[in-house]
Structure 1
Amino acid sequence: MSAANRDCGRSAPRKDPALAPTPPMGWNSWNRFRCYDLTEEVVLATADAMVDSGMRDAGYRYLVVDDCWQAFARGDDGRLRSHPRRFPSGMAALGEEIHARGLKFGLYLAPGRRTCAMIYDRYPARDIGSFGYEDLDAETLAGWGVDYLKYDWCRAGGGGTGLDHRGAFERMAAALADTGRPIVYSISEYGMTRPWEWAGEYGHLWRTTPDIGASWRSVLRLADRQHGLARYAGPGGWNDPDMLEVGNHGLGEVESRSHFMLWAMLAAPLFAGNDLRTMSEQTRELLTHAGVLAISQDALGRQGERVARFGRVEVWRRQLSGAVVYGVLNRGRRAISVRVRDDALVLSDGTVLCPLTAESVDVWTGESVQDRKDLWSLRPREMVLLRSPAS
């Protein structure tokens, strides 16, 4: 039976925008643990680290267990089961432990016959994709107390499914709605079908890019793909340029900070992807920086945009509730000199980068910008955020 016939007579799903009034924040297992290193012990230790590090209290609430949590086959009743060795307690019990720590529980599914790990990591499972099981899988997740679903395309149109992107994601949206449980719905199809134009009807966030990698080149490539998308995001639904690589090998201190600041300016969901159990104090301080997170979580919900470019120097702007923040990014490999005037930040040749007022502050340091009247250096790949009251 085709997906269209299975849904005949079914009303279009309606999401609850109140589930994501600001970009969701949390942690996802994939970037650091991928498939075979993902275990119940890792997840629970990460949950403890989210609490102990202050991340939970800073707003990181969703702990998302990505692909490879599943047993290699469904049960006789058709239901998905957890991997018996790596998740012996089961997903309902895992969810209870996560909730007991004041966190929310997220899981991964895929709409086709296979998941991404089956395709790319040789995960030796069969029939654990949700094709033909959408209602049962949604019901199962709701019964386990799941609060967040990452639904990942993973070539779902292959294998004779006949699925198209929009139909597949709408089908799961309807199944989730029928459970009656409030579940944040993350649509992951990598920006292939311009999801920002349609996914907002029933998704709370939608991927706009291919997967991120732990490199400065990848960060810039994904940031560049966000231009022109700001008008599609806002309270209840968000453009998603993928998870954070902050704290992972491949990004230096300055690059990690600029990556984090860019995602905050983009009103992007913030899902840490590092090992929280062993992260450095430097990484913890970055991920929990109150000034940057205040920009990310601003209630106005307007996505920032790049508004000017001068060689390798970019200027970004985001309107906030009662304020405006400018981001100046040195994309190049050499330091540049900038200077503070009473009314503007300028390059050493006098080119105006952004306006300033007497109340403008450097978001990272919390200090007045006017205290830095002399020439100062913006390091290679460094971003600075300058916040001023709205005029």
Structure 2
Amino acid sequence: MLLLIVLTWLLSLPAPPAARANALAETPPMGWNSWNQVRCYDLTEDVVRKAADALADTGLRDAGYRYVVVDDCWQAPARAADGSLQADPKRFPNGIADLADYVHSRGLLFGIYAVPGSRTCAMANDAYPATGIGSLGHERQDAETFDRWGVDYLKYDWCNADTVDGLDRKTAFEKMRDELAALPRPIVYAISEYGVSSPWTWARPVANLWRTTNDLVATWDSVLATIDQQASVAAHSGAPGGWNDPDMLQVGNGTLTPDEARAHFSVWAVLNAPLFAGADPAKLSDTDLATLSNPEAIAVDQDFAGGQGRQLKAGPGYQVWGKPLTGGGIAVVLLNTGATTATVSASLPGSWSVRDLWTHRDVGTDVSATLRPHAAALLKLTPR
């Protein structure tokens, strides 16, 4: 199928509002998060240490995956006598500060999970037996605890704080923003309310990244549905320090085929999405490791030249996405969303040299690829 793509969008991208001025996350952050790998009850300090080791030993750290984020269920069932958060003594016997020190010793950065309300998501959805471990009423104390422990990244998760605690999203997220801003330690601030209140319209002055969708699961249907949801939010993301977040990567998890995993990663790259691996980095197949560590694809993700990737064309069985690159180039994803092999092509004004970023080959001047079902080509176009 031949697509004629008019690239006037490159010249007329609206400027997003000013980002949070904390000089962090100047490019989309990258790392590993525990949730997709072990969810709640299997989370231990040993799991986190091994993930840090694997990031360093596999080369993922050097590819850019620097943040090791401990998600929900690290907390003891109750706060300490002084009201401070504490780690579960059985699964984190050495405490969070010691774990953060270990992560730092591997040349990595340490992240942790908290919530603005009274109840974490695992308390609601996984029957996690805890009371009062949310940050409601403890915002300053928790921020100071994270500072003392050596936290570099905070994932702050909504978890129905409106219906449970009567909180307003923007106000609650701003409160923790202000507490973090008062700390001597710089902490990247990631908020997650699943796109319910269109955070892309208000979150740039609040956080460094904000979730745009519900949780992504490791199926093609979920990946494709999340891709479809990103088409309308592109104008609100941008450098430095303010990123749409379509959720953590599912490469290496579930039922995704290698083609689907590469398609997933290709679109995340043109979206300038935060890249957080969610599989066990020590058990990745060679194919999945190559997908996550592809330097040319990562370079596309980390290159913000005035616009997040946009859906340029879509129809039955195909989508085309593109984004500007530094130096006047364009990154293009040709995506076969159908169930049969198909050729997806794009005709662009001008003359281009085309490079396939998955095969690492220059492929001439045609913006075209014959793709298996659910496969994608990630191409870099350079003006000739």
Tell me the TM-score normalised to structure 2 length.
Answer: 0.91
Measure how far apart 1:158 and its partner are.
Answer: 3.3
Q: Is the 8 A contact 1:112 1:158 kept in 2?
A: no
Measure how far apart 1:230 and its partner are.
Answer: 1.6
Q: Is the 8 A contact 2:139 2:176 kept in 1?
A: yes
SS state of the match for residue 226, structure 1?
A: helix
Label 1:389 to 1:63 Cα distance change in 2 as closer, same or farther (>3 A): same
Q: Mapping of 1:158-197 within 5 angstroms?
A: 158-159=163-164, 161-197=165-201
SS state of the match for residue 182, structure 2?
A: helix
Counterpart of 1:342 in structure 2 is: none
Q: Mapping of 1:320-359 within 5 angstroms?
A: 320-322=325-327, 323-337=329-343, 346=345, 352-354=346-348, 357=351, 359=353
Deviation readout 1:334-366 (Å, 9 max, x if unpaired) = 00135xxxxxxx4xxxxx455684621111112
Measure how far apart 1:203 and its partner are.
Answer: 0.3
Counterpart of 1:383 in structure 2 is: 376
Tell me, in whole angstroms, the C-alpha distance in 2 between the residues paired with 1:27 and 1:113.
26
SS state of the match for residue 204, structure 2?
A: helix
- Of 362, 370, 382, the match for 1:368: 362
SS state of the match for residue 313, structure 2?
A: strand
Deviation readout 1:239-284 (Å, 9 max, x if unpaired) = 0010000000221110001001110011110000001121111111
SS state of the match for residue 88, structure 2?
A: coil
- Of 114, 120, 134, the match for 2:119: 114
The AA in structure 1 aligned to 2:67 is Y
Measure how far apart 1:231 and its partner are.
Answer: 1.4
The 4+ residue runs of structure 1 with deviation greater than 6 A are none
Measure how far apart 1:223 and its partner are.
Answer: 1.0
Counterpart of 1:98 in structure 2 is: 103
Q: Is the 8 A contact 1:243 1:270 kept in 2?
A: yes
Q: Is the 8 A contact 2:116 2:134 kept in 1?
A: yes
Alignment: residue pair count: 364
The AA in structure 2 aligned to 1:20 is A
Q: Is the 8 A contact 1:115 1:129 kept in 2?
A: yes
Tell me, in whole angstroms, the C-alpha distance in 1 between the residues paired with 2:351 and 2:364.
8
The AA in structure 1 aligned to 2:371 is L
SS state of the match for residue 269, structure 2?
A: helix
Tell me, in whole angstroms, the C-alpha distance in 2 between the residues paired with 1:333 and 1:199.
37
Deviation readout 1:60-115 (Å, 9 max, x if unpaired) = 01000000000000000000000000000000010000001110000000111110
Q: Is the 8 A contact 1:48 1:101 kept in 2?
A: yes
Counterpart of 2:5 in structure 1 is: none
- Does 1:143 find its partner at 2:148? yes
Q: Is the 8 A contact 1:326 1:354 kept in 2?
A: no
Deviation readout 1:91-146 (Å, 9 max, x if unpaired) = 00100000011100000001111100000000000000010000000010011010
Measure how far apart 1:315 and its partner are.
Answer: 1.0
Tell me, in whole angstroms, the C-alpha distance in 2 between the residues paired with 1:299 and 1:195.
20
Q: Mapping of 1:209-228 within 5 angstroms?
A: 209-228=213-232
Label 1:99 to 1:277 Cα distance change in 2 as closer, same or farther (>3 A): same
Measure how far apart 1:370 and its partner are.
Answer: 2.1
The AA in structure 2 aligned to 1:272 is A
Q: Is the 8 A contact 1:357 1:388 kept in 2?
A: no
Counterpart of 1:75 in structure 2 is: 80
Larger Rg: 1
Q: Mapping of 1:79-90 within 5 angstroms?
A: 79-90=84-95
Measure how far apart 1:309 and its partner are.
Answer: 2.0
Q: Is the 8 A contact 2:68 2:111 kept in 1?
A: yes
Runs of 5+ consecutive residues of structure 1 not aligned to the other structure: 1-13, 339-345, 347-351
- Of 290, 300, 310, the match for 1:305: 310
Measure how far apart 1:49 and its partner are.
Answer: 0.1
Tell me the TM-score normalised to structure 1 length.
Answer: 0.90
Tell me, in whole angstroms, the C-alpha distance in 1 between the residues paired with 2:316 and 2:131.
51
- Does 1:283 find its partner at 2:288? yes
- Does 1:242 find its partner at 2:242? no
Runs of 5+ consecutive residues of structure 2 not aligned to the other structure: 1-18
Tell me, in whole angstroms, the C-alpha distance in 1 between the residues paired with 2:194 and 2:28.
18
Label 1:356 to 1:219 Cα distance change in 2 as closer, same or farther (>3 A): farther
Measure how far apart 1:300 and its partner are.
Answer: 2.4
Tell me, in whole angstroms, the C-alpha distance in 2 between the residues paired with 1:305 and 1:371.
22
Counterpart of 1:19 in structure 2 is: 24
Q: Mapping of 1:1-80 within 5 angstroms?
A: 15-80=20-85
SS state of the match for residue 18, structure 1?
A: coil
Label 1:45 to 1:301 Cα distance change in 2 as closer, same or farther (>3 A): farther
Counterpart of 2:234 in structure 1 is: 230
Counterpart of 1:341 in structure 2 is: none
Identical amino acids, percent of aligned pairs: 51
The AA in structure 2 aligned to 1:186 is A
Tell me, in whole angstroms, the C-alpha distance in 2 between the residues paired with 1:89 and 1:241.
33
Measure how far apart 1:50 and its partner are.
Answer: 0.2
SS state of the match for residue 158, structure 1?
A: helix
SS state of the match for residue 43, structure 1?
A: helix
